[in-house]
Amino acid sequence: MSFGNFTVDIADLGGRQKKNGEKREAPRAPLHFKVAIVYHQHEDEATRPRYHGRTNDISLKGLSILVGHNIFNEGEVTVLLAIPPAHIGETQKVIEATAKMVYTVFSSEHDTFRIGLEFCKFKRNGDQLLKKVIDERYIKPNYPGAAENKHAAAQ
């Protein structure tokens, strides 16, 4: 990271630093879906706490979400990802997975909290469905025709 005339090296605590500074193992797609984070229920709670937000970006390895509260939790949580239908007449699909929270920061750009989660395990065929959704709905910036289909990435 550069600051004026000097450069700062940021340590990679996870040991996954890539050559371009990117820590993620899978490319991110800037797809924005509704998401619910559900905590595991404790004995003294009548219901499982849950929070709603939207994805900021997503990959096959994890996602970042935008939520109105700092909901960081060191244990695993359940992620419910609502995938809107791609075509009229189709039904909404929900991908369910367990994930662990990696970071939480207040994003001044979005005026809310941004939380990074790493997927641990998908329920049923959730990983296959997520791969299909990313492949079908995210137009890669260098892909021929991407300029004409920019609107597809926002769906």
Q: How far apart are CA 35 and CA 143, in angstroms?
A: 28
Q: CATH no. for residue 137?
A: 2.40.10.220
* Residue 123 lies inside a defined structural domain of this protein: yes
What is the residue-level pLDDT of the chain in tens, covering all 155 positions? 333 433 333 333 333 334 445 565 778 899 999 999 998 766 666 667 789 999 999 999 999 999 998 888 888 999 999 999 988 999 999 999 999 999 999 999 989 999 999 999 999 999 999 999 999 888 666 555 444 444 444 44
pLDDT at 7: 35
pLDDT at 155: 45
* Residue 14 lies inside a defined structural domain of this protein: no
Residue 106, phi-psi category: left (phi > 0), alpha (psi -120 to 50), beta (remainder) = beta
* Residue 93 lies inside a defined structural domain of this protein: yes
Range of the domain at 65: 26-143
* Residue 3 lies inside a defined structural domain of this protein: no
pLDDT at 47: 67
Q: How many domains does the chain have?
A: 1
Q: How far apart are CA 122 and CA 108, in angstroms?
A: 31
Q: Which pair of structure tokens corresponds to residue 14?
A: 């996870």
* Residue 152 lies inside a defined structural domain of this protein: no
